[in-house]
């Protein structure tokens, strides 16, 4: 956390012995230990919350990808293979409709034109 190695801790201990009187040293060391414990718990709690946020963000991405795949894989609800097959078979066995002969040249094809011709 603070990148203390053995040499730095030894120097820190010697300075503490010189500055702090020996009768107050146990109380000071206990207080320092309590603060170090609090700092470690806070750091672990922060790391845990950060890791949880990362997992939630990753889960959100996975959930979005899953929903996209789910919507892409949906089949239409009106899918009826038996109805479609029956319709195709019934059209296949029906006789062909007779073809009407073409009207003679010079006559109108539309019924409205025929009605006008009949009235005139």
Residue 111, pLDDT score: 57
pTM of the model: 0.41
Residue 24 is classified by DSSP as T
> pLDDT tens-digit profile of 73-108?
776 666 677 788 888 888 778 777 777 776 666 665
Residue 37, pLDDT score: 92
Compute the average pLDDT of residues 17-33.
86
* Structure tokens, 112: 């409205």
**What are the angstrom distances between the C-alpha of 120 and each of 80, 81, 106?**
54, 55, 16
Residue 114, pLDDT score: 57
Task: Please count the CA atoms within 13 angstroms of the CA of 57 that sit on its side-chain side.
Answer: 6
Q: How many residues does the chain have?
A: 120
Could you tell me the residue ranges of all domains in the chain?
A: 22-64
**pLDDT class for 52, splitting at 50, 70, 90?**
confident
Residue 26, pLDDT score: 86
- The per-residue pLDDT of the chain, averaged, comes to 78
**What are the angstrom distances between the C-alpha of 20 and each of 4, 7, 30, 100?**
21, 20, 13, 119
Compute the average pLDDT of residues 3-20.
82
First vs last C-alpha separation in the chain = 108
> What would you measure as the largest C-alpha separation in the chain, in angstroms?
133
Nearest to 69 by CA among 61, 80, 58: 61
């Amino acid at each position: 956390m603070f990148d203390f190695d053995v040499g730095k801790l030894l120097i820190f201990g010697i300075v503490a012995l010189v500055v702090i009187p020996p009768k107050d040293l146990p109380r000071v060391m206990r207080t320092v230990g309590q603060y170090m414990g609090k700092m470690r718990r806070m750091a672990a709690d922060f790391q845990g919350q950060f890791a949880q946020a990362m997992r939630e963000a990753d889960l959100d991405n996975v959930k979005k990808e899953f929903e996209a795949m789910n919507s892409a894989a949906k089949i239409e609800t009106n899918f009826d293979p038996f109805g479609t097959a029956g319709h195709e078979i019934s059209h296949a066995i029906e006789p062909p409709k007779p073809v009407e002969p073409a009207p003679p040249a010079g006559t109108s094809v539309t019924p409205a034109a025929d009605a006008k011709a009949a009235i005139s």
